[in-house]
């Protein structure tokens, strides 16, 4: 089935049931494409079921969503929580936004990591490997979305971030947050399919959505895509990150390395030969001329 | 077999000699000891808490400020200040400028120790230091990482600097054959060392390229690697002037009178080199500023701070170096060296800490524990430097 036919039949079947329940069937159809998640913020009711499901799945701090009042202030993900939901008062009323790692197509954190502990997997999720990590926190410095978090108060700290439930996907299951979402605000699928679904929603309801899909181009494209009724800068998103994939920033420098590593020694050897005044070799000794003396020991 | 016994007796002689040399010498109650011993002891206690309870127990690092004083000063600034070793070895061995022969040993020793201690300080800052060997071993090579490159270049440069210094050690141990061999590979290691320095000095700047959205535009540029490299040249030269001036006072009994006098002439040469590189650096900074059309950023607090750094601690010391060179004023040159060093500290801290996350409400400032550990690293380095120069022919040649 090509993509056009797939879209035709699935869109006809209705927006909510777009994605097959078996993750592995999805991957068979597009073995070469990344998976991703589409967030439609117009559907999110701020119930924070995703926060709870995430915490339970990863055996982490489970927030008390009924009474902790956490929606009062915008929060960031932390070393205790892979994902959080924030509430924003906008020109179109209150809007809830789930935030977590964006799983960039070309991840800054993965290219920053000196040991490949941060790794962009072939399926799409960016995951962390504690056996490789040296704890340098260069991933935190490099991530344009400020996602990786560090356990500062542990003697054996971990880098903490959303894994897109990489382990559950391997078992053929959807990410826990997607499964927990009661309103289909979250949709798991192949990223290119998600992009077409997102475009379709904008075209079908041009007055309901702003005509931008956050994550389509940001930082070169991300696995998570967002739809919104209001401009994204009202929802706590940085809109100044540009379209350049972040590893591109260091690519020129890294490309120059082999040229310098071999070009400069050749140049220096030539300079050294040119600077030869025809004096005895003893002059290139480290230290003084033999006749110069100094303090005798 | 006689050859075998000769080697054995030589090994035993060297072993006993080293044991003898390990004993402390000289008076204990010097002003430096009185200050540095409490700092080092306090630092060790702080490090116990750091490794027992995590970085958060002693540092002000946060999720928004993952790098603080230990990374920004010890590593990023410290390596720039150690740039003198590659500049001087380039002049003496590659360009065969004999005038600077007498400061090569002390400068290379300083560079080597700086890398050991500042590279060593990185272990305090790593969250999982027991994995520190991962970039070097196994299937963990992050080829696309600037930090991977820096890890390797630090390690290789430390080897190169050690080999550059090793004839002095051979001379100290009276190992004539080893000394001759090590002397013969000096040029090769110098060329390797200069190349590696070029790459990791600029590489430290490249660390901040991907932090483009987080660093104030006045301090972020795609040319930061070039700026870091060019400024490391005058940082190194200023450091030689600064450190050499102190050494010539503190270790004057070790230095031949002839070299005392020659040092003034060397300082004038270094000042000229520093002035030229600083003017080049300043012009590059100005061009970037104009090209990026940053005029509207100047009339802000960050703009004034930028002017303090670029005018106050680059342009003014550059003129002072030039003036001091022309009018043969050692005092002006030495003041300029201190100002240039402060300018380097300011620039590196601005890029790595102060202008990083400049828009955030909660600012990072180092905790007293971070400052003490930084001072501990500096003190420990001076201790080892003092131990070496009091025993090995660093300021003098015995052959």
Q: What is the ipTM of this complex?
A: 0.91
Residues of chain A positioned with their CB less than 8 A from the CB of B165: 286
Q: What is the mean pLDDT of chain B?
A: 91
CA distances from A205 to A10, A211, A227, A229 (A): 18, 10, 12, 10
Residue A288 has a pLDDT of 46
The pTM score is 0.89
Same domain, A52 and A136: yes
* Secondary structure of B154-194 in HEC code, one letter for each residue: HHHHHHHHHHHHHHHHHHHCCCHHHHHHHHHCHHHHHHHHH
Cα separation, A37 vs A187, in Å, equals 5
The answer to whether the Cβ–Cβ distance between B146 and A79 falls below 8 Å is: no
What pLDDT sits at residue B330?
94
CB B254 within 8 A of CB B395: yes
Indicate if the pLDDT at residue A23 is higher than 70.
Answer: no
Same structural domain, A17 and A134: yes
Of A227, A246, A265, which residue is a domain's last? A246
Residues A152 and A259 in one domain: no
Please indicate whether residue A100 or residue B252 has the higher confidence score (pLDDT). Answer: A100
Least confident of A84-88, A246-250, B172-176: B172-176
pLDDT of B8 > 90? The answer is: no
Beta carbons of B258 and A292 less than 8 Å apart: yes
Residues of A in contact with B65 (CB under 8 A): none
Kindly report, residue by residue over B336-370, the tens digit of the pLDDT: 999 999 999 999 999 999 999 999 888 899 999 99
Share of chain A above pLDDT 70, in %: 83
Return the HEC string of chain A.
CCHHHHHHHHHHHCHHHCCCCCHHHHHHHCCCCCEEEEEECCCCCCCCHHHHHHHHHCCCCCCCCCCCCHHHCCCCCCCCCCCEEEEEEECCEEEEEEECCCCECCCHHHHHCCCCCEEECCCCCEEECCCCCCCCCHHHHHCCCCCCEECCCCCCCCEECCCCCHHHHHCCCCCHHHHHCCCCCEEEEEHHHHHHHHHHHHHHCCCCCCCCCECCCHHHCECEEEECCCCHHHHCCCCCCCCCCCCHHHHHHHHHHHHHHHHHHHHHHHHHHHCCCCCCHHHHCCCCCHHHCCCCC
- Each residue's pLDDT tens digit, B266-305: 999 999 999 999 999 999 999 999 998 888 899 999 999 9
Percentage of chain B modeled with pLDDT above 70: 98
Touching check for A72 and chain B: CB below 8 Å? no
Q: Does A115 touch chain B (CB under 8 A)?
A: yes
Domain-embedded: residue A122: yes
Q: Determine, yes or no, domain membership for A283.
A: yes
Task: Please state the rounded mean pLDDT for residues A119-125.
Answer: 93
Say if residue A220 is in the same domain as residue A259. Answer: no
Spell out which residues of chain A touch residue B151, defining contact as CB-CB under 8 Å: 114
Q: Contacts of residue B361 in chain A, CB cutoff 8 Å? A: none
Q: Of A78, A150, A254, which is closest to B146 when you measure between CB atoms?
A: A254
pLDDT recorded at residue A148: 97
All domains of chain B in start order, with CATH: 38-389 (1.20.1630.10)
Taking residues B106-111, what's their average pLDDT? 94
Q: Are residues A113 and A181 in the same domain?
A: yes
Domain that holds residue A7: 3-246
Same domain, A217 and A230: yes
Q: For residue A285, what pLDDT band results from cuts at 50, 70 and 90?
A: very low
| Residue A20 located in a structural domain | yes
Residues A222 and A258 in one domain: no
Across the interface, which of B164, B194, B255 has its CB nearest the CB of A268?
A: B194
Q: Is the pLDDT of residue A9 over 80?
A: no
Residue from the list A113, A152, A272 with its beta carbon closest to the beta carbon of B145: A113
List of chain A residues whose C-beta atoms are within 8 Å of the C-beta of residue B93: 272, 284
User: What's the rounded mean pLDDT across residues B85-98?
Assistant: 94
Interface test with B, best of A129, A136, A238, A283 (most B CBs within 10 A): A136
- The pLDDT tens digits for A156-192 are 999 999 999 999 999 999 999 999 999 999 999 999 9
> From residue A220, how far is each of A144, B60, B223 by CA, in Å?
11, 33, 22
Q: In chain A, whose CA is at the least distance from the CA of B252?
A: A295
A239 touching B, CB under 8 A? no
Structure confidence at residue B141 (pLDDT): 84
Mean pLDDT for chain A overall: 87
Q: Is residue B201 helix, strand or coil?
A: helix
Q: Are residues A199 and A274 in the same domain?
A: no
**Residue A297, domain member (yes or no):** no
Q: How far apart are the first and last CA of chain A?
A: 87
Together in a domain, A163 and A222:
yes
pLDDT for residue B135 is more than 60:
yes
Q: What percent of chain A has pLDDT over 90?
A: 78
Kindly state the average pLDDT of the residues A223-236: 96
Chain B partners within 8 Å of A250 (Cβ): 144, 146, 206, 209-210
Q: Does A182 touch chain B (CB under 8 A)?
A: no
Mean pLDDT of B178-206: 93
* Same domain for A156 and A21: yes
Same domain, A166 and A272: no
Interface probe for A, chosen from B25, B51, B128, B201 (most Cβ of A below 10 Å), is B128
The verdict on a CB contact (< 8 Å) between B225 and A253 is yes
Could you give the percent of chain B with pLDDT greater than 90? 73
Mean pLDDT of B169-191: 91
**Is pLDDT of A293 > 60?**
no
- Residue A29: what pLDDT? 65
Using an 8 Å CB-CB cutoff, list chain A residues near B64.
146
A240 touches chain B (CB under 8 A): yes
| Angle A188-A192-A194 from CA coordinates, rounded to 5° | 40
Closest-CA residue to B148 (of A148, A253, A123, A121): A253
Chain B neighbours among A 262-291 (CB < 8 Å)?
Answer: 264-265, 268-269, 271-272, 275-277, 283-290
**Residue B397, pLDDT score:** 57
B381 Cβ neighbours under 8 A, 6+ residues apart: B113, B114, B116, B117
- Assess A116–B contact: CB distance below 8 Å, yes or no: yes
Between vectors from CA B122 to CA B243 and to CA B194, what angle results, nearest 5°?
Answer: 55
Reply yes or no on whether the pLDDT at B25 is more than 80.
no
Is A161 part of any domain? yes
**Do the Cβ atoms of A141 and B208 come within 8 Å?**
yes
Average pLDDT over residues B82-87: 94
Residue A257 covered by a domain: yes
Q: How many structural domains compose chain A?
A: 2
The nearest alpha carbon in chain A to B357 belongs to: A141
Is the predicted pLDDT of residue B111 greater than 80, yes or no? yes
pLDDT score for A42: 96
Residue of chain A nearest B222, judged by CA positions: A249
Output the pLDDT for position B15: 85
Domain identity same for A153 and A257: no
CATH of the domain at A103: 3.30.70.20
Disruptive mutation site among B145, B212, B213 for chain A (greatest number of A CBs within 10 Å): B145
- Smallest CA–CA distance, residue A73 to chain B, in Å, is 15
Nearest to A253 among B146, B151, B397 (CB): B146
């Amino acid at each position: 089935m090509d993509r056009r036919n797939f879209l035709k039949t699935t869109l006809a079947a209705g927006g909510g049931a777009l994605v097959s329940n078996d993750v592995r069937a999805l991957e068979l159809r597009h073995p070469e494409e990344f998976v991703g998640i589409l967030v439609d913020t117009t559907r999110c009711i701020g119930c924070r079921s995703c926060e709870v499901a995430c915490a339970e799945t990863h055996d982490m701090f489970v927030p008390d969503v009924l009474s902790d009042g956490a929606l009062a202030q915008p929060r960031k993900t932390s070393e205790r929580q892979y994902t959080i939901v924030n509430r924003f008062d906008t020109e179109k009323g209150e809007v809830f936004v789930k935030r977590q790692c964006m799983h960039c197509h070309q991840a800054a954190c993965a290219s920053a990591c000196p040991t490949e502990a941060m790794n962009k997997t072939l399926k799409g999720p960016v995951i962390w490997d504690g056996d490789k990590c040296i704890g340098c926190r260069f991933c935190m410095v490099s991530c344009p979305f400020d996602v990786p978090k560090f356990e500062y108060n542990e003697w054996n700290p971990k880098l903490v971030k959303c894994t897109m439930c990489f382990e559950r996907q391997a078992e053929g299951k959807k990410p826990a947050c997607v499964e927990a979402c009661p309103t289909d605000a979250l949709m798991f699928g192949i990223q290119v399919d998600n992009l077409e679904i997102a475009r379709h929603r904008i075209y079908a309801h041009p007055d309901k959505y702003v005509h931008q899909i956050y994550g389509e181009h940001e930082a070169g494209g991300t696995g998570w895509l967002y739809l919104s009724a209001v401009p994204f800068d009202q929802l706590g998103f940085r809109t100044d990150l540009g379209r350049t994939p972040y590893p591109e920033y260091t690519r020129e420098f890294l490309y120059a390395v082999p040229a310098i590593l071999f070009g400069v020694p050749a140049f220096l050897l030539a300079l050294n030969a040119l600077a030869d005044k025809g004096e005895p070799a003893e002059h290139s000794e480290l230290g003084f001329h033999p006749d110069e003396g100094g303090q005798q020991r | 077999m006689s050859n075998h016994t000769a080697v054995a007796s030589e090994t035993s002689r060297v072993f006993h000699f080293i044991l003898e040399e390990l004993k402390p010498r000289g008076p204990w109650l010097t002003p430096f000891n009185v200050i540095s011993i409490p700092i080092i002891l306090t630092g060790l206690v702080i490090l116990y808490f750091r490794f027992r309870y995590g970085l958060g127990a002693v540092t002000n690092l946060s999720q928004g400020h993952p790098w603080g004083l230990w990374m920004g000063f010890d590593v990023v600034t410290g390596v720039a200040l150690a740039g003198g070793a590659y500049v001087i070895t380039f002049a003496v061995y590659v360009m065969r400028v004999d005038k600077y022969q007498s400061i090569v040993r002390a400068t290379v020793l300083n560079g080597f120790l700086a890398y050991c201690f500042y590279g060593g300080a990185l272990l305090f800052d790593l969250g999982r230091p027991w994995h520190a060997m991962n970039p070097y071993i196994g299937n963990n090579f992050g080829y696309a990482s600037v930090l991977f490159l820096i890890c390797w270049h630090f390690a290789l440069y430390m080897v190169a600097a050690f080999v550059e210094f090793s004839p002095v050690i051979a001379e100290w141990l009276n190992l004539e054959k080893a000394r001759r061999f090590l002397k013969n590979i000096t040029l090769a290691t110098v060329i390797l060392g200069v190349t590696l320095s070029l790459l990791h000095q600029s590489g430290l700047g490249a660390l901040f390229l991907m932090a483009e959205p987080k660093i104030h535009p006045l301090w972020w540029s795609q040319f930061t690697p070039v700026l870091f490299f060019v400024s490391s040249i005058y940082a190194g030269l200023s450091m030689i002037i600064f450190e050499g001036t102190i050494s010539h006072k503190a270790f004057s009994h070790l230095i031949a009178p002839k070299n005392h006098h020659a040092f003034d002439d060397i300082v004038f040469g270094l000042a000229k080199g520093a002035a030229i590189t600083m003017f080049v650096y300043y012009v590059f900074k100005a061009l970037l500023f104009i090209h990026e059309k940053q005029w509207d950023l100047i009339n802000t607090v960050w703009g004034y701070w930028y002017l303090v750094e670029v005018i106050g601690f680059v342009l003014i010391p550059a003129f002072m170096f030039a003036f001091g060179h022309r009018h043969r004023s050692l005092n002006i040159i030495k003041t300029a060296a201190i100002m240039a060093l402060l300018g380097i500290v300011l620039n590196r801290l601005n890029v790595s800490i102060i202008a990083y996350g400049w828009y955030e409400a909660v600012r990072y400032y180092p905790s007293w524990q971070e400052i003490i550990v930084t001072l501990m690293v500096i003190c420990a380095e001076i201790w080892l430097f003092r131990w070496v120069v009091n025993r090995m022919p660093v300021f003098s040649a015995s052959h």
